Amino acid sequence: MSTNGTNGTSHDGANGSTERIIPLQINGKEVKTSTTFDVVDPSTGKVIWKSASASKEDAINAIEAAQAAFPAWSKTKPSKRRDIMLKAAEILQSRGEELGGYMMTETGSQAPFATGFNIPTSVEMLKDIAGRIVTISGSLPVCGDEGANAIVYKEPYGVVLGIAPWNAPYILGFRAVAYALATGNTTILKAPEFSPRCFWAIGSVFKEAGLPDGCLNVLAHRPQDAAEITTLLIEHPAVKKINFTGSTHVGSIIAATAGKNLKPVLMELGGKASAIVLADADLKKAATQCALGAFFHSGQVCMATERIIVHSSIATAFSTHFNQAIDGIFPASAPAQVLVSPAGVKKNHALVSDALSKGAVLAVGDLNAPEPSGTRMRPLVVENVTKAMDLFHHESFGPTVSVFTVDSDDDAVALANDTEYGLTCAVFTEDLKRGLAVARRVESGAVHINNMTIHDEPNLPHGGVKKSGFGRFNAGQGFEEFLRTKTVTWQD
């Protein structure tokens, strides 16, 4: 059973008390449900609040609300959509501390990643989107036959389903719907169970910015209902396109379900990013960026550095700088970083244990170090990793990185490409020509020269190759993902 509220613009609609429920948002109203699930602070293990859990009826109501809102929203002038995006950016910035607090509480992230990166990047994304809306245009091709004419329109799809993860909830949550909204689509945003309040906040920002009812509907559900609710949303005839950011395993299931229903998808999935340190690299810079890329947000970023590939001639010197960088950025005197659940810690421990049992060496860290909770873990650096080990192949999605040595640029590229993933990569060198040559050969959606593998900004297309997904978020390509063409011809 669901009950509707009317305080959609209230910042108190998701009260922090465990007696209150984070509501769904359907057709401009906040909806509470009789079925709920607990939301836990991973840094303490305590329940912080509960979330409404969408039923099949709630999911259908959200689809129908989006479908009903589409005809009017798709006809709005670009200037109106632009103004709503700019207003949303202004509201998000003004509520940055509030929303950053939700993120730190629900995901265990630290302030630099929440209020220092997620909030400002999301604000810039909304501004960038606002500035591009008026550039949407069709074309007038020249036809081959005398007297023949054509016009190519660009049109929105209709109802778009966005599924985004918890680890960077504002960047990934806003982009799951903002590009679709900007191009005239209406949306459903499916929230992860770890951070429903963050996703409630996304809906709240757009509501306060003046987005019409039904254009954005936010759903959350219990983990055990994921398959049923997600399948219903994908298969409903009114849903015309799906975008998903998350694991490759889940992405393959979603893509298969969409494929059975002949629906297009945009996928940004897992990664096994390499940082290649060439012989002429600035070692201090490379070491610092590798430490940040590997362990920022406890390594719980799809773009996180999983492999560091170092030229053998500088391996010893790099190791010294790398250890110093780790000690300086993630000191032993500070509390260990938090992962969102104990499962992440267990996965990393299992990967490293398997590697050690097969001959790998733990160069930094202690696999058996005691921590005050099962969600805390310190950086681990593993050497002598081989293809016989699970760690070579699988994304750790945690504070674990493997270090390899190679004798040539060719060997470095071959190792970086020896993975089923291809989301991002880093190359460190003082020779730009050499760096660009390596970048062109790496099978990856992005390569960052003299910067860490974690890099995302709204004016750059973002996405992967191979099993890291297909399609692109951000910039002009992000707009094109949510527009389809219609060709109209006529004869004089």
- CB contact set of 105 (below 8 Å; sequence gap of 6+): 41, 48, 197
Chain centroid offset of residue 204 CA: 20
User: Which one, of 421, 455, 119, 121, lies nearest residue 289 by Cα?
Assistant: 455
Question: What is the rounded distance in angstroms from the CA atom of residue 270 to the CA atom of residue 247?
Answer: 5
Q: State whether residue 2 is helix, strand or coil.
A: strand
Where are any strands of DSSP class E within 85-238?
148-156, 159-163, 186-190, 216-219
Q: Which residues, other chains included, contact 16 with Cβ-Cβ below 8 Å and sequence gap of 6+?
A: 48, 49
Q: What number of CA atoms fall less than 13 Å from residue 404's CA on the CB side?
A: 24
Of residues 106, 208, 268, 395, which has the active-site annotation?
268
Cα separation values, 256 from 4, 262, 463, Å = 34, 10, 19
Catalytic residue among 198, 215, 290, 302: 302
Would residue 268 show up in a list of annotated catalytic residues for this protein?
yes
Strands (E), 366-472: 376-377, 380-383, 400-406, 425-428, 447-449, 469-470
Tokens for 402?
A: 């493997």
Beta partners for residue 152, in sequence order? 139, 487
302 is catalytic: yes
Pairwise CA distance, residues 398 & 16, whole Å: 28
Phi then psi dihedrals of residue 485, to 5 deg: -100, 150
* Residues acting as catalytic residues: 268, 302
